[in-house]
Chains A and B, each alone.
Chain A
Amino acid sequence: MSLIPRETLAAYLDDALGDLETAQVEQALRQNETLRKQLHGLLQERDRGEHSVGAIWRRQRLSCPSREQLGSFLLGVLESEAQDYIEFHLRTIGCAFCQANLADLQAQNQEATPHVRERRKRVFDSSAGLLKAKK
């Protein structure tokens, strides 16, 4: 397998890679001019309106489990094949969106701490003025 497959570079552009793979791609980009040129080529292709089946799959999140399924995965109550598939989707495919959902579900299970409530309150307080301004 080549160092960074072309579709992985495309996924990097879509910000759809997990943290580990993103770091690997970024490190390779810093060190490898050929790879940077390849990325540039990909950007030009997109500029011309070209796209790939993989990009459509990622963008439409065609194989992403639902949030409810991710919750069941966390509890380990899915059938073994489905459990195994979600593990694959999270770890091997490294879906950044599902990883974020899973991390959030894990955090909810573990805490619902005042810290998180406070953080959300800050987001609300800082943006609620927009609603008043709109009125």
Chain B
Amino acid sequence: MATDSDRLLVQQIRQSDARAWEHLISRYEGRLFAFVHRRIKDLAACEDIVQESFVGFFTSLPNYDDRRELQTYLFTIASHKITDFLRRTGRHPLQNASEGPNDLLHLKLDDQPGASSAARSAERKTLESDAVGRALGQLLDDWRGQGDYERIKVMELLLVKGWANKDVAKFLRISEQQVANIRFAAVKKIGEHVRATGLSPDVFPELAT
């Protein structure tokens, strides 16, 4: 969720306040530049991409929902601009993977819902995301509150990195049984939360117990 300060900035920019725009650039330009530079080492190109990202943000302002975190929104725009740049300069690894409108890069870039997307509505996907996000967020808050960072590490490696139990155990120097127990308890809680919102956790194979 956008901070109050960001929300106010956006509101002022919508009223064409040049100082607010300058403030927004000053607040976010550095981190966007670092984000772009991670992928593109040419400094002039980075600068152009950051510039295009701000212009892209301005253009998309009528559609920006300020309940969304501004920083994440800007990173998403920058990410698209990076892919555009890599594609234009023929440096994307998927550039020659296949040709035509169905090539991998095209699919990634344009984020167009295909005909099959009617199978599950965007609305349902949002509901699922919200439910899982709330459940996970609550778990993470609880663990942080208890100073139990090991559980966070276990679940982050399992779910965000997709590591197997044995790899997580080896990396964190705990037993596989401990990893399995942490996973089981977390998955159970998330599943319960998702079910309580009237949705099925079966949509997510990771939540199978």
Chain A positions within 8 Å of B, measured between CB atoms, are: 1, 5-8, 10-11, 13-15, 18-19, 22, 26-27, 29-30, 36, 39-40, 43, 47-54, 56-63, 79, 81-82, 84-85, 88-89, 92-93, 96-97, 99-101, 103-104, 107-108, 116, 119-120, 122-124, 126-128, 130-132, 134-135
Contacts and interface: CB of A to CB of B under 8 A. Distances in A.
Contact of A51 (B30, B58, B129): B129
Q: Is the interface of A mostly helix, strand, loop or mixed?
A: helix
Interface string B44-69: 00010011001100110000000001
A4 to B, nearest CB: 9
Contact of A36 (B75, B104, B108): B104
B161 interface: yes
28 contacts: A10-B162, A14-B79, A26-B93, A29-B93, A29-B94, A36-B97, A40-B104, A43-B108, A48-B119, A49-B120, A50-B120, A54-B159, A56-B129, A57-B136, A62-B133, A85-B149, A88-B149, A97-B75, A99-B38, A104-B31, A107-B34, A116-B30, A119-B29, A119-B33, A119-B47, A127-B21, A131-B16, A134-B16
B179 interface: no
B70 interface: no
A124 to B, nearest CB: 5
Interface residues of B, number: 74
B34 A99 contact: yes
B130 to A, nearest CB: 9
B79 to A, nearest CB: 4
Contacts of A88: 149, 153
Most chain A Cβ neighbours within 10 Å, of B75, B122, B207 = B75
B100 interface: no
Interface of B: 13, 16-18, 21-22, 25-26, 29-35, 37-39, 47, 50-51, 54-55, 58-59, 69, 71-72, 75, 79, 82-83, 93-94, 97, 104, 107-108, 113-114, 116-117, 119-122, 124-125, 128-129, 132-133, 136-137, 140, 147, 149, 152-153, 156-157, 159-164, 167, 171, 190, 203-204, 206-207
